[in-house]
Amino acid sequence: MKVYQTKEIRNIALVGGAKTGKTTLAESMLFEGGVITRRGTIEDKNTVSDYREIELERQNSVYSTVLYAEYEGKKINMIDCPGFDDFVGEVVAAFKVADTALMVVNAQNGVEVGTEITWRNATRYEMPVIFVVNHLEHENSNFDETVRQLHQSFGGGVTVCQYPVNEGVSFDSVIDLLQMKMLKFKNGGGKAEVLDIPAGEKSKADDLYAKLVEELAANDEELMEKFFENGSLTEEEMSRGLKIGLTTRGVFPVFCVNAKADMGVNRLMQFICNTVPAPDEVAPVKTTEGKELSCKASDPASALVFKTSIEQHIGEISFFKVFAGEIAEAMDMVNSQNSSKERLSQLFAVAGKNRVKLDKVVAGDIAAAIKLKSVKTNHTLNSPRNADDRIEPIVYPNPKITMAVKAKNASDDEKIGTLFHEMHRVDPTLTVEQSKELRQLIIGGQGELHLNIAKWLIENVHKIAIDFIAPRIPYRETITKSAKSMYRHKKQSGGSGQFGEVHMMIQPYNEGMSNQTEFPVRGSDVHELDWGGKLVLNNCIVGGAIDARFIPAILKGIMEKIEQGPLTGSYARDIVVNIYDGKMHPVDSNEISFKLAGRNAFREAFKNAGPKILEPIYDVEVIMPEDKMGDVMTDLQGRRAMIMGMDSEGNYQKIKARVPLAEMNRYSTSLSSITSGRAMYSLKFAEYAQVPPDVQTALLKAYEEQDTEE
């Protein structure tokens, strides 16, 4: 393959809802671009894009696929993204490296949930958008209604550049308003016959053309002046207006295709090559230090790894975009995350499983390398000249759903942890943590489908049966008043015995509080707890009742009980412990005796100190259509939510609330059901707050029953 220069490269993301035909469109583009000689189909399970086992079984995309096509002297890099919101991480990564999004819309269904969600993501990342209306060959297709919905949902910038002449089962022609010609397609698709617009379509075409010209002129003052002077724009001026409008997100062109029959695809690719901005014509990417990378081949090399894939017989493949400079085969680079040196021994242009060797990759281009030593997604690779530059990373959404995982065969528990960590390397939105606090393996994802796909992979590819169970809630335990206790540990079983007696008073800890005055404080240690809050240990021993060498053992016993609190087994926090008296035995006292005495004295005091349970509260933000707002609000209030505010975001409403984590189990499924999948939400930890009395009673009872069973 030739070395494409920055001006010859176009980077696009194929996005949209599920079943809109993105993968089929990609297949036709690969065919038109000469990458394949025969088009596959989803039904025959032989497309270049959806080639993984899980995708073949489900017949839809689960992962994004990096592709390319060569067309009219340009290289079009494509990233075919999944349509379900559960796989939004693939879309977010694609938007980091693409310069324009092709948003595919099903002409039978118009604006769907997936269209709305993808639009929100495109808006968030300020991504130029081209709408591609597909499935015009179906009897239920309705182009005019689809365009009306696009206008209603996404504003006046939606601009028709083509419309179908005879949509439905006989679809084979479109009016191209940019050329003011009719394009008539053959049965096998491909290049269209260019004809004059029929008399019956002339009036409609003229009206739409006038609107198009006016829309394009509005994006540039110079073009607006020419439009007022001449009443129209030349083809060159229209092309310029389109490029400006696309780049500034003032214009969202609408094109027509029948992707399955390769109709309209050729013209779409021509438009991409002529009008879509090249990588050096969009806003430059920044480093974490705020430095702009100008996408020049003459600058020091800098590339971001935006995707990692593990392929059978090959191993790990790292996909990257060069944001500055050039990368040649066998070039040594520096990973700015860990300062390791990486030799890119082989470079490839990738189309699904197909790989073509490259000698060099220039700024703006996308390529892949295999078997890099210590490179992960979001790592920056630099030339030694700019080794410390770190490109702003892809910001993945936080998990919306978490589940605890347990192997059906306990001997497989360690193995499934390793497998989930491997899956996280490929999909950063699938999080995994062995929680010491909850004593569970916790995985997080974007929805139930996301986690169920992970379960399928573990069970079908790796042949390990697993169960998902609700994760325990990371409660916290603390106290509200002072309490005293005494515990004597005494054990005699022949030989040296065990003896230790500890008297303590515990108090609630508050920032800036003074020491109690009932007992003299002879030494104080403040311990910052890993899970938040503090433990203060005051040594108030007078007259050597307990030797100073036993104080660390008492602390150890207390810490054991703090790590597994007396009420629910959760972490305890914000407690002051005053050790004020005790007894020793000259022979039988030892560290284990005082550790046990300290632990049990603390447990008894805790239960008498007005103990309370704190629960994690999360900030939840829900975006939904206005007509679903009441249902969403009712559901949140049923989850003990405190509504913090309401706002509007474009055509959608936003509710901000604080909700206990314990009430958010399977919320993604519930919200999808309430809103027919048209809502999005995010959640972020806010604080710990006291649980209501009835909830605390229920938690204590449940823990006692569990303790009895164990």
Strand-pairing partners, residue 483, are 506
Domains of the chain: 6-195+252-281 (3.40.50.300), 285-386 (2.40.30.10), 401-472 (3.30.70.870), 477-603 (3.30.230.10), 613-695 (3.30.70.240)
The CA-CA-CA angle for residues 668, 674, 678, to 5°, reads: 75
Burial of 334 (0-12, 13-18, 19+ CB in 10 A): buried
pLDDT greater than 80 at residue 562? yes
Distance of CA 511 to the CA centre of its chain: 37
CA 478, CA 567: separation in Å to the nearest integer? 9
Torsion sign over Cα 17, 23, 26, 31: negative
Residues 487-546: pLDDT tens digits?
999 988 767 789 999 999 999 999 989 999 999 999 999 999 999 899 999 999 988 899
| pTM, full prediction | 0.86
Residues 6+ apart with CB under 8 A from 577: 504, 505, 506, 535, 536, 537, 538, 558, 602
Residues 25-74: pLDDT tens digits?
999 999 999 999 899 888 888 888 888 888 888 888 889 999 999 999 99
Query: Is 67 within 8 Å of 350 (Cβ atoms)?
Result: yes
- Tokens for 94, please give them: 């694609």
Strand segments, DSSP code E, in 33-144 are 65-71, 74-80, 100-106, 129-134
pLDDT of 220 reads 75
For the chain, first and last CA: distance in Å? 66
CA 417, CA 410: separation in Å to the nearest integer? 12
- Tokens for 200, please give them: 């019956």
Query: Is 329 within 8 Å of 347 (Cβ atoms)?
Result: yes
By percentage, how much of the chain surpasses pLDDT 70?
A: 99
pLDDT greater than 80 at residue 707? no
